[in-house]
Chain A
């Protein structure tokens, strides 16, 4: 078997393992719910409340409303258990006693979980478009979907990597999930406060802190990508599509996200390659 085949085996294994843990099925169920219910609710509220010029772009409502919270949580939930659950269940030991490189196992587990996340993300976008089409007719500017998909996927990678790293360092899936979520929430709240204080004081320090908190580029990037392709009417309608993103440029968002992601992956990899493989945690 080549290294690629071994990694591919672990990608498949990780997907199967995560699905068997049932939580992914729950996430898929939520994704379906979130992809359909908002459109049904908007439609039921009465089409007269929604300006007709919004109709062709209403698919972005579903995409952007779930992005900041649900998708990042999904990424955290999948990644926190990817390594940790193998230690908790004692299954890592047997897999790593075979003549394989630890790095192949690590890459396979990382990519396997991430593939699963990408599936949920794709399902979310797909359902948003289909629901928008069903309730509000033909949709426009769908050509930006591939790019938007990549922007969302890249944005969530920072919290996926963080939870993956904590899962490996702590080796307890529930703790890794709690810590990752705490970091996510703290970043979100602090970012909001920093923005508020900056508005009041115009002190650049608060603005700088806000920019470099991980939630800022994560929330900014998909909007920064999509905005040039969306009419102002839809951003006015959907207030959560914040046109004044905390991070000023798309390049800076990518750079900050990339830095956080690479640092967390590097820490997880170095630790995993050097540390003992712990036995079943009781």
Chain B
């Protein structure tokens, strides 16, 4: 399946019929994927679907059994240095040398990069990055004594050092507290918007992907199922749309009126239970993807004398699309 996210520009990351066969029935591919400069791509898939293998192929840590993988136009195995110049990787739950402090670790990493010839510049960069990820006060504490969340922050820190142009993130928010998650979301958003960087990020948190990413690719059992913008993917997978309402309790008569609208397939009745006798939430499923009947619905509710607090269409649809896509593939097992 050709899974081209973008075709109208030169690709930063490119899989072409790439297969990785580990033997004993453990195989991914063929994977076809193109990610162009400036895209923020969410890479989704269940555990064991091949996300991390794809990332390791991009980084030249493992070699494709057949097909090709390129980054920045180079093969990451045979042209490792050229391919990974300006590319940084933050692994999921990284294994960082416990005997080093964050400052020592960033020093080590910075010595691996071709950008720092001046030690003062290097130390300034390290201080800046430690500040950015909130590790300045722990800069001299050994990694072995840091919490899981702090190690994850350090993983992101080492990826940001040296102003990379492409970030490859494997579950970057794992282990972070809500404040940390929000902070890093902002950091990655700035990286993409201000620095025009490319982000390829695997995640299980759909809301995170929906809020951060311009595109998504869904991988399942080693092959790409869907790819495109969030809207394109949800449209491709789901043949319905949803309206979420927050109102004062509705009478049966009002609900009956709503059900008579031809575009409405169903109204989730279980949600029509008032919270604190004040508000009720409802979910209405429409049989068409692009139709917007919110004015009609709000009109009926307001005329019935009920209060309408919010009316939203197609929120959190990525998660539904993702679950539907996997369900379809696995015959309803998800």
Partner of A97, one of B61, B85, B98, B117: B61
Chain A residues closer than 8 Å to B100, beta-carbon distance: 16
B35 at the interface (CB under 8 A from A): no
**A-B residue pair count with CB separations less than 8 angstroms:** 76
Q: Report whether B95 and A6 are in contact in the complex, using a CB–CB cutoff of 8 Å.
A: no
A207 at the interface (CB under 8 A from B): no
Known contacts A101-B81, A102-B80: A276-B63 contact under CB 8 Å: yes
B128 at the interface (CB under 8 A from A): no
Q: Report whether A9 and B112 are in contact in the complex, using a CB–CB cutoff of 8 Å.
A: yes
Query: How close is A97's CB to chain B, nearest CB, in angstroms?
Result: 4
Partner of B99, one of A6, A9, A17, A93: A17
Query: How close is B211's CB to chain A, nearest CB, in angstroms?
Result: 27
Query: How close is B47's CB to chain A, nearest CB, in angstroms?
Result: 15
Q: How far is the CA of A280 from the CA of B113 in the complex (A)?
A: 24
Q: Report whether B84 and A98 are in contact in the complex, using a CB–CB cutoff of 8 Å.
A: yes
A49 at the interface (CB under 8 A from B): no
Q: How far is the CA of A276 from the CA of B26 in the complex (A)?
A: 15
Chain A residues closer than 8 Å to B95, beta-carbon distance: 89-91, 93-94, 280
Q: Report whether A277 and B89 are in contact in the complex, using a CB–CB cutoff of 8 Å.
A: no
Residues of B contacting A: mostly: loop
Q: How far is the CA of A99 from the CA of B89 in the complex (A)?
A: 11
Q: In this complex, what residue of A is CB-closest to B112?
A: A98
B114 at the interface (CB under 8 A from A): yes
Q: Report whether A13 and B108 are in contact in the complex, using a CB–CB cutoff of 8 Å.
A: yes
Q: Report whether A100 and B61 are in contact in the complex, using a CB–CB cutoff of 8 Å.
A: no
A95 at the interface (CB under 8 A from B): yes
Query: How close is B20's CB to chain A, nearest CB, in angstroms?
Result: 9
Give chain A interface residues in 175-208, CB to chain B under 8 Å.
none
Q: Report whether A20 and B99 are in contact in the complex, using a CB–CB cutoff of 8 Å.
A: yes
B62 at the interface (CB under 8 A from A): yes
Chain A residues closer than 8 Å to B274, beta-carbon distance: none
Query: How close is B119's CB to chain A, nearest CB, in angstroms?
Result: 11
Question: Which 3 A-B pairs rank lowest in CB-CB distance, beginning with the nearest?
Answer: A90-B95, A20-B99, A9-B111
Q: List 24 A-B contacts (CB under 8 A).
A: A1-B111, A1-B112, A1-B113, A5-B111, A6-B111, A9-B112, A17-B97, A17-B99, A20-B98, A89-B95, A89-B97, A90-B94, A90-B95, A91-B96, A91-B97, A97-B59, A97-B61, A98-B109, A99-B80, A99-B83, A99-B87, A99-B113, A100-B112, A101-B80
Additional A-B contacts beyond A99-B85, A276-B62 (14; CB < 8 A):
A1-B111, A1-B112, A1-B117, A5-B111, A9-B112, A20-B98, A93-B56, A97-B59, A97-B60, A97-B61, A98-B84, A100-B81, A277-B61, A280-B95
